[in-house]
Amino acid sequence: MDYGLTGDDAKVLHRGLAGRWYAPPVSRPVIKALMERRDGPAIRDTMLWLGGLATSGWLGVHFWGSLIAVPCFLVYGILYGSSGDSRWHECGHGTAFKSPWMNAVVYQLACFMTLREPTVWRWSHRRHHTDTLIVGRDPEIAVPRPPKLIDLALNVFALKSTATSLLKLCLHAAGSLTADERTFIPTAELWRISWVARAWLMILVAVVLTCIRTHSVLPAMLVGLPTLYGGFMLLFFGLTQHAGLAEDVLDHRLNSRTIYMNPLFRFLYLNMNYHLEHHMYPMVPYHALPALHEAMKSDCPPPCRSCWAAYREIIPAILRQRREPTWHIVRPLPEARAAGAAAPH
């Protein structure tokens, strides 16, 4: 199957997948109330996040050279390379804060931490929500079929994704886009992409030169390397969103997964474990997703009770799709609504 955006499968809209997505029977007043944006929850969570980064980073530097530095940098790396992913995501939607400038500041910071170029990913993610898991249209399908286990293994520490990001940074700094990117990024955005790419490359080069000059890897442990050594939770969370589920359907209940997580994971992930709800109503702020879940859960498949339960279906599904690429997990729909669900094309 061609997962590129310029191949034969990119013509999917001409195959009948241009219809409307399924919407659950939640009243407009309820959705309107849940869409209300507030600064308070995001300010609280951002201060905790930045405070955790500052504290663990300072402790890592203070104890550098001893074993005590290891857990300090482990915490720092997770907050930087994994939790930064949910921050760029929510601020990219413009829903985390009510104040636009707060969304913009945290978005830019978190994008750099995860090496997700802000303009590129803003357009990429817009397409992802427009055509979720539609082959040839969605640029963010994390596990193309048949799955490549080596790619997943490398991304435990973001090795493949970071290498790809660095190559694209160089391409964008030179004023070019990939063929796929040209299908969803307006040409007018190229100047912005190029200047940001050049600035990021200058920062990364400055970090490398500082390491050489100080004869220490410590500067890179604070800027750059956390994207790698702290990125394992990004993959752990990210695979739970869509892996193993149906492609080419117009019902988010069939291609997105909701999982119950503990409070710590929900903080790190900013409630993106309610991923089905997020895809149906992407303008509902992360702090309102638990309430949205309660409002629509009777019309949705049962959520996975834990991360362990989710991976008990994800891992066998990925292994089976290596042999049977067309196979996918079928989410059980409530009988009253199953008849009206969009079927796979």
Q: Tokens standing for 327?
A: 């196979």
The structural domains of the chain, with segments of one domain joined by +, span 230-332
Of 7-16, 260-269, 271-280, the one with minimum mean pLDDT is: 7-16
* Inter-residue contact 104 to 122 (CB < 8 Å): no
In the structure, what pLDDT confidence band is assigned to residue 230 with cuts at 50, 70 and 90?
very high
Mean predicted lDDT score pLDDT of the chain: 93
Q: Tally the C-alpha atoms within 13 A of residue 103's C-alpha that lie toward its C-beta.
A: 18
Q: What is the pLDDT of residue 171?
A: 97
Task: State the Cα angle at 241 between 76 and 136, rounded to 5°.
Answer: 115
The mean pLDDT of 117-127, rounded to a whole number, is 96
What torsion, rounded to 10 degrees, do the Cα atoms 246, 248, 250, 253 define? 10
CB 285 within 8 A of CB 96: yes
DSSP state, 78?
A: I
Determine if residue 284 is left, alpha or beta; phi over 0 gives left, psi from -120 to 50 gives alpha, anything else beta: beta
What is the reported pTM?
A: 0.92
Arithmetic mean of pLDDT, 323-345: 72
